[in-house]
Amino acid sequence: MNSALAADASTLRANGKSGWHQRAFEFLVRHRIRISVIVFVCLILEDLLERRQPRDLANFRDPWMMLGLALVSGGLALRSWAAGTLKKWAQLTTQGPYGVIRHPLYVGSFMMMIGFCVLINDEKNIYFILGPVLLMYLAKVFKEERLLAGKFGAPWQAYAAEVPRFIPRRLPRTPFAAWSLQQWLGSREYRALVSGLLGLVAVQLWRLAA
């Protein structure tokens, strides 16, 4: 992946596209995770200062709590499914969740972010997630697809023509045939799982302390 990124960057320079806007683009794409975390932390600090009360994770009669919890849990599950299936840059992965959408890891991440916004109970947070944060990830998606098209050529073009980016049109034919625990562990996806669960615990503690 690093060699592919380096090749892409050198191609951009060779084409004379290394102006300030291109450097800003590369910076946002490269540091999107850190920037997303900073934005999310700032939003939470604002909610704490406003003494906003999150939704009660023990109140299963609250439809908004159920929606937020479903989004977080579904996002974690989708990310784990994708991480255990993806053969990153070694081959074109078209099985499991990659058989129905091209970017399940990113979709899972956004499901989690929106879910936490719902649980925190501050709708304006969603605007930040669907605004600047979404734009950063879209930039990453388009950049990644250019690299994949360059690496895999015609097979990628055929795959992209059949499988949508984000919204599935059908169910997977063989959901877990290519899933591997070793692959899941190797991708360190357990860190996202632990972080998500700790986030849910933190929301409930926040609720109890509010």
C-alpha triplet 83, 104, 91: angle, nearest 5°: 60
Please determine, for residue 51, whether its predicted confidence score (pLDDT) is greater than 70: yes
Interatomic CA distance for residues 62 and 69, integer angstroms: 11
Q: Is the pTM of this model over 0.75?
A: yes
- 95 C-beta neighbours (distance < 10 Å), count: 17
Q: What is the mean pLDDT of residues 1-11?
A: 47
Closest CA to 204 of 120, 112, 111, 109: 120
The 10s digit of each residue's pLDDT in 145-183 is 999 999 999 999 999 999 999 999 988 877 887 899 999
pLDDT of 139 above 90:
no
Alpha-carbon dihedral sign for residues 162, 164, 169, 173 = positive
Kindly report the number of other CB atoms within 10 A of residue 43's CB atom. Answer: 19
pLDDT in tens, 78-121: 999 999 999 877 789 999 999 999 999 999 999 999 999 999 99
